[in-house]
A and B are shown apart, each in its own frame.
Chain A
Amino acid sequence: MKSATPLLAAAALMAILSTSPIAAEQSILLQSTTSTKNSGFYDHILPLFKAETGITVHVVAVGSGQAIKNARNCDADVLLVHAKADEENFVAKGFGVKRHRLMYNDFIIVGPAADPAKINTLKDAPAALIRIAQTKTLFVSRGDTSGTHKKEQTLWRSAGINVIAASGKWYRETGSGMGATLNAAVAMGAYALTDRATWIAFKNKQGFNIHVEGDKALLNQYGIILVNKARCPTTKTNAGQRFIDWLTSPTGQAAIQGFRRNGQQLFFPNAAKN
């Protein structure tokens, strides 16, 4: 009897473990960004969508660059990212059916309350970056080909500064998500470019403030794309299209409008009427 106990325990364990809890319900896979996920956007939106359609949306949150790459590998039904040029390229190459404008918010430059580079008074983002570069104040970059990283590179280019030369000195690339990068910036007392949604939801601010906002160059536009069945035969076209249709419909746009954190609206719906 005694010697049988571990065997029985193992058998019982196997029996428990082998039962799968995943029911065969209708679901789609969404490749998206850390900014939308970390801000709690999907926790607000997806239950509303599911209540209306019964469709579960599984979200994988990575940088926009990685999300697009995963979708190219057919590991997605729908893509929701913020990197317009790459999204258009994705559709042009035949991986996506069509890019729909969905919503926007804006990027901001955050930094320590003391504002060592004195950029607080500037409204122009490239001008602020020039001052950071001139004073060689620490700046933390995503460095991960995400939508935010691409926007930041565009801003440095328009400021005429080659940050690659400063990489590892005052310009530091974390190669991580927005949250990890903000944690790093806070720990180093450095400036960083972030989307507003992540910043509002971010809890480890430790006295950091927004120093630059409101520049038109800081617009952050999100797009949504159905993965093309012609390239990826496993794509759940019907359910995926329903998700896109719903988000771009008045109901979905109102749901986006209604999402608030700390009393602030994080995303502004601007789907184009077809």
Chain B
Amino acid sequence: MQDFTQAFVLAFELVFSGDADLIEIIVLSLRVSLTAMVVACVLGLPLGAILAITRFPGRGPALVVLNALMGLPPVVVGLIVYLHLSRAGPMGSFGLLYTPTAMIIAQVILIMPIIAALSRQVLEDLNNEYAEQFRSLSVPRHAAIQALIWDARFSLMTVALAGFGRAIAEVGAVIIVGGNIDHLTRVMTTAIALETSKGDLPLALALGLVLLTIAFAVNAAVMSLRLTTGRYANV
């Protein structure tokens, strides 16, 4: 229990001392995971919308596969991305391994299915309400997708946050493709893994508390955005 007390004190000190290394790690964590979230949304939302409003043979199995991919093990994703980005791999010539870009790619693969599957559910529910009216108004499909995504934007923010939460919390993929290189690819989770392996459990725990605080801050920011601009969605 003494470790916990020590961890809280340490976490406090870390945050308020403005430690440059810690800030660098936090900024990189946010940069990687927020970028991954944005890219995953750009790819995943339209995919979710298409699955929500179209009916085609094999749609059922496609949904099962998509839902199953929500449980992709990060280590497997990391390994697959590593094998592609390694100099000896098919995309090795881009020199992306052990860069933040590689970490973003891995996280996009990890959370894109989450965003597509959850947004599919949200958009399908809304589409059930809108579909007949849209057909009556002869709304073109692309305009219907845009309208659904826009009108469901506050629910979809929660979906995006679910993806972001998974991205910023995972360690298995980024430690393989990022390499946990100091001042280059070290993020919160890999730093926690490193301190744990050094046996510095209070510091690891303190970093965990900082990570938790960041996740809390991001969620609070989105929630306040929702409260200030979200009244259209609540009625």
Query: Which residues on A are within 8 Å of B, measured CB to CB?
Result: 2-3, 5-6, 9-10, 13-14, 16-18, 20, 22, 29, 34, 37-38, 42-43, 58-61, 70, 72-75, 177-180, 182-183, 186, 201-205, 232, 234
Q: Do residues B98 and A74 form an inter-chain contact, with CB atoms below 8 A?
A: no
> B196 touches which one: A20, A37, A179 (CB < 8 A)?
A179
- Check if B153 is an interface residue, CB within 8 A of chain A: yes
Q: Which residue of chain B is the closest to A27 with respect to CB atoms? A: B184
Q: Which of B48-56, B114-122, B174-182 interfaces with chain A?
A: B174-182
Q: Can you report 20 residue pairs joining A to B where beta carbons are below 8 Å apart?
A: A3-B229, A5-B225, A9-B225, A13-B34, A17-B35, A22-B184, A38-B198, A60-B98, A60-B179, A70-B86, A74-B88, A75-B86, A75-B97, A179-B199, A180-B196, A186-B199, A202-B199, A203-B200, A204-B199, A234-B87
Residues of chain A within 8 A (CB-CB) of B219 are none
Q: B43: CB under 8 A from chain A?
A: no
Q: How far is the CA of A147 from the CA of B198 in the complex (A)?
A: 18
Chain B 109-141 interface 0/1 with A at a Cβ cutoff of 8 Å (1 = within): 000000000000000000000000000000000
- 6 smallest beta-carbon distances between A and B, as pairs: A179-B197, A204-B199, A74-B87, A60-B179, A73-B88, A202-B199
Contact with A along B84-98 (1 / 0, CB 8 A): 001111001001011
| Additional pairs, 15, CB under 8 Å, beyond known A29-B98, A179-B199, A201-B198 | A3-B229, A3-B232, A10-B38, A59-B181, A59-B182, A70-B86, A73-B88, A73-B92, A75-B88, A177-B197, A202-B199, A203-B198, A204-B200, A234-B87, A234-B95
- In the assembled complex, B15 has its CB within 8 A of some CB on chain A: no
User: Could you say which residues of chain A place their CB within 8 Å of the CB of B181?
Assistant: 58-60
Closest partner residue, chain A, to B28 (CB atom): A21
- B31 interface contact, C-beta 8 A: yes
A186 and B196 alpha carbons, distance in the complex (Å): 13
Q: Which residues of B contact A (CB under 8 A)?
A: 31, 34-35, 38, 86-89, 92, 95, 97-100, 153, 179-182, 184, 194, 196-201, 225, 228-229, 232
Given contacts A17-B38, A58-B184, contact A232 B197 (CB under 8 A): no
A9, A13, A17 — most chain B CB neighbours (10 Å): A17
Given contacts A73-B87, A73-B88, A6 and B229 within 8 Å (CB-CB): yes
- Quick one: given A59-B182, A179-B196, A234-B87, are A2 and B34 in contact (CB under 8 Å)? no
Whether A205 contacts B199 in the complex (CB less than 8 A), given A73-B86, A75-B86, A75-B97, comes out as yes
Q: For the complex, give the distance between the alpha carbons of A205 and B199 in Å.
A: 8
The interface residues of chain A lying within 8 Å CB-to-CB of B35 are 17-18
Contacts of B153 in A (CB 8 A): 6
Please report the C-alpha to C-alpha distance between residue A182 and residue B198 in the assembled complex, in whole angstroms: 9
What A residues does B225 contact at CB under 8 A? 5-6, 9
Q: CA–CA, A73 to B100, complex, Å?
A: 20
Chain B contacts of A22 at CB under 8 A? 99-100, 184
Complex CA–CA separation, A34 to B162 (angstroms): 33
State which of B100, B197, B228, B232 has its C-beta within 8 Å of the C-beta of A34.
B197
Please pick, from A20, A43, A58, A179, the residue contacting B179 in the complex, using a CB distance under 8 A.
A58
Q: A residues within 8 A CB of B194?
A: 37-38
Within 8 Å CB of A74, what residues of B? 86-88, 92
Residues of B within 8 Å of A59, CB to CB, are 181-182
For residue A7, give the distance in angstroms from its CB to the closest CB of chain B: 10
Contacts of A6 in B (CB 8 A): 153, 225, 229
User: In the complex the two chains form, what is the Cα distance from A180 to B153 in whole Å?
Assistant: 43
Within the complex, the shortest CB–CB distance from B136 to chain A, in Å, comes to 24
How distant is A246 from chain B, measured CB to nearest CB, in Å? 19
Rounded to whole angstroms, the CA-CA distance of A2 and B228 in the bound complex is 9
Instruction: Give the nearest-CB partner of B93 in chain A.
Output: A234
Give CA–CA (A217, B182) in the complex, Å.
Answer: 34
User: Smallest distance from the beta carbon of A60 to chain B beta carbons, Å?
Assistant: 4
Contact A75 B184 (CB under 8 A): no
In the assembled complex, which residues on chain A have CB atoms less than 8 Å from the CB atom of B89? 73
Question: What residue in chain A is nearest B228 (Cβ atoms)?
Answer: A5
Contact A203-B97, Cβ < 8 Å, known A17-B35, A74-B86: no
A9 nearest CB neighbor, chain B only = B225
Interface centre among B180, B181, B228, B232 (most CB of A within 10 A): B181
The chain B residue with its CB closest to the CB of A70 is: B86
Bound state CA distance, A17 and B197, in angstroms?
31
Cross-chain contact of B180 among A43, A61, A70, A202 (Cβ < 8 A)? A61
- With both beta carbons as reference points, the residue of chain A lying nearest to B92 in the complex is identified as A74
